[in-house]
Structure 1
């Protein structure tokens, strides 16, 4: 009889869908088949730390607008490889601090995955998903009223209407693949 693999708890490795925040979170859960980098407003100063991600893993970018497209891409990838794929979802967070908008968008991606049947989630992923589901009726307001949203408007980088457009759930039909999976 063999023992099941032992994963360090911070990796959430026994779950198919994992969630963490920031570059440090990526280092904790980045060893997966697919890494989803969630930058809801496209303003994170730090990009994906590719060194923290397995060289065989695909890296996909996600926002509220693309969450369903990203989930469909992951399901299609899973079908193509013929096995369950491990998915690490990382909220980018601005400046390494907490970003409610990125966590909300990450929860939106997790919800879209769950809708497609990819739902063996870590408790951390379940909490992010519940945040999105519970607050889905207020997404537009939460994005515009959030600290990052208010900072973008105050700095003149975005007008309110542009910010509201970023909060449109499922408005984009294509997933943005930053690095394709290895063959």
Structure 2
């Protein structure tokens, strides 16, 4: 199967369908930078958050995480992004050390669903996934597929402009224009991360991990 990326330790794909194309991995990192990954990284530092609760204010990120939890023999499912890229890589390294064996990692960019239910490329998720893959490479987990390597290098090349890129992206402008409502998140007691916060590289050491249907801090 040419699209499984099975010969590589670090893999990269888009959305639930992309996840299904990959060989099952030991660790799956879901990346949905604007709102989901960034907000959850801060929220679970204060309290566990049930997946079903998170679904109320997230579409793609929650869907990828839920699908990831059902892959293969039950991988460890983490949420990563720009805000916690280095911490996510350290969590993967910790898991590899605990297993005492080479650990495969699939990094899945959530993307954005259009009104026609088609997956749209989202530059913020490309950069977030690239940040995580670059951080893995820095720790020596660097046997990356071409797809993963390209994501990492795009992040390295553009990292100085993260704030500008996220604010100017289609998704960032959509949030700024109030097209995407945050009422549900606010009513649920969770403050949504601002676009500028989502662009803050390694601003938090918290990595959400999905265990028994609930996100909690990785430890």
CA RMSD of aligned residues (A): 1.8
Match of residue 136, structure 1, among 132, 140, 159: 159
**Structure 1: where are the runs of 5+ without partners?**
1-7
**Could you tell which deviates more after superposition, 29-38 or 76-85?**
29-38
**Structure 1 position 38 matched with structure 2 position 31:** yes
Shift of residue 162, structure 1, vs aligned partner: 2.1
Q: Which runs of 4+ in 1 moved over 3 A?
A: none
**Structure 1 position 78 matched with structure 2 position 93:** no
Q: How is 1:118-129 mapped onto 2 (pairs within 5 angstroms)?
A: 118-129=141-152
1:109 is aligned to 132
State TM-score, norm by structure 1: 0.88
State TM-score, norm by structure 2: 0.74
Provide the rounded CA distance (Å) in 2 between the counterparts of 1:79 and 1:51: 21
**Structure 1 position 67 matched with structure 2 position 99:** no
2:201 is aligned to 169
2:4 is aligned to 11
**Could you tell which deviates more after superposition, 30-39 or 123-132?**
30-39
**Structure 2: where are the runs of 5+ without partners?**
37-57, 114-118, 183-192, 213-219
Residue deviations 1:87-125, cap 9 Å, x none?
000000111211111011000000000000000000000
